[in-house]
């Protein structure tokens, strides 16, 4: 019999299921249940998920808040592009802008202090990826993503863009310093 000829008996659903097929179905069902349970389990015990909040914003509104922080707390400028390095007081809301093709400005945070880090794009879809911690957030225009962060390692941390955003994507870098 080939697949194009009609089945020998029309009531195929009353035929017994082959043992091999039954085993596979059981394996799939059990594995599906395990994976479903892993979702809440991993959320609670995996320490992988961010407790992030999302709010609506506009590029103008977000840029205004970022600029106000930059104007108030810039301590120096870095590199040939003179990117401001901002050292905000602990505990406040701090802002980072994603745009073609940079994360702006540079932030300098204190170790073991908690900040509300806002991240938003003012033009296109970007991916905020903090390395080497491997903290990742999707950054969409129109949304203000807020991460409550408490840096626990000093040093220079690099922000890379992990969402393809055009010709300068691979150069879209940012910096967060963590100091004592
Ligand atoms: Cu921004 Cu890739």
pLDDT of residue 131: 87
The C-alpha angle 110, 106, 99, rounded to 5 degrees, equals: 140
Gap from CA of 164 to ligand 1 centroid (Å): 5
* CATH architecture of residue range(s) 53-179: Sandwich (2.60)
pLDDT in tens, the chain (180 residues): 567 777 676 777 788 889 999 999 999 999 999 999 998 898 888 766 666 789 999 999 999 999 999 999 999 999 888 999 999 998 899 999 999 999 999 999 999 999 999 999 999 999 999 988 888 899 999 999 999 889 999 999 999 999 999 999 999 999 999 999
Region of 61 on the Ramachandran plot (φ > 0 left; ψ -120 to 50 alpha; else beta): alpha
pLDDT of residue 48: 63
Cβ–ligand 1 contact at 164 (below 6 Å): yes
CA distance 104 to 69: 12
Every domain of the chain and the residues it spans: 1-49, 53-179
CA distance 118 to 57: 11
CA distance 137 to 72: 27
Gap from CA of 131 to ligand 1 centroid (Å): 15
Q: Do 134 and 127 meet the contact criterion of CB atoms below 8 Å apart?
A: no
Residue nearest to atom 1 of ligand 1 (CA): 126
Cβ–ligand 1 contact at 122 (below 6 Å): no
Cβ–ligand 1 contact at 172 (below 6 Å): yes
Cβ–ligand 1 contact at 139 (below 6 Å): no
- Measured from the Cβ of residue 142, the count of other Cβ atoms closer than 10 Å reads 13
CA distance 145 to 123: 15
pLDDT of residue 13: 77
Cβ–ligand 1 contact at 87 (below 6 Å): no
């Amino acid at each position: 019999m080939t697949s194009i000829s009609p089945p020998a008996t029309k009531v195929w659903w009353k035929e017994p299921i082959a043992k091999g097929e039954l085993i596979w179905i059981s394996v799939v069902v059990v594995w599906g249940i395990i994976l479903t349970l892993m979702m809440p389990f991993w959320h609670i015990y995996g320490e992988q998920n961010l407790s992030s909040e999302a709010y609506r914003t506009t590029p103008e509104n977000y840029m205004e808040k970022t600029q106000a922080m930059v104007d108030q707390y810039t301590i120096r400028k870095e590199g040939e592009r003179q990117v401001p390095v901002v050292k905000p007081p602990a505990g406040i809301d701090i802002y980072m802008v994603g745009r073609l093709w940079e994360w702006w400005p540079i932030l300098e945070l204190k170790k073991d202090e908690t900040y509300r880090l806002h991240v938003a794009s003012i033009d296109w879809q970007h991916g905020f990826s903090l390395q080497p911690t491997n903290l990742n957030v999707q950054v969409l225009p129109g949304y203000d993503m807020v991460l409550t962060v408490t840096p626990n390692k000093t040093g220079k941390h690099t922000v890379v863009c992990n969402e393809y955003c055009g010709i300068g994507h691979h150069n879209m870098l940012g910096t967060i310093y963590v100091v004592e």
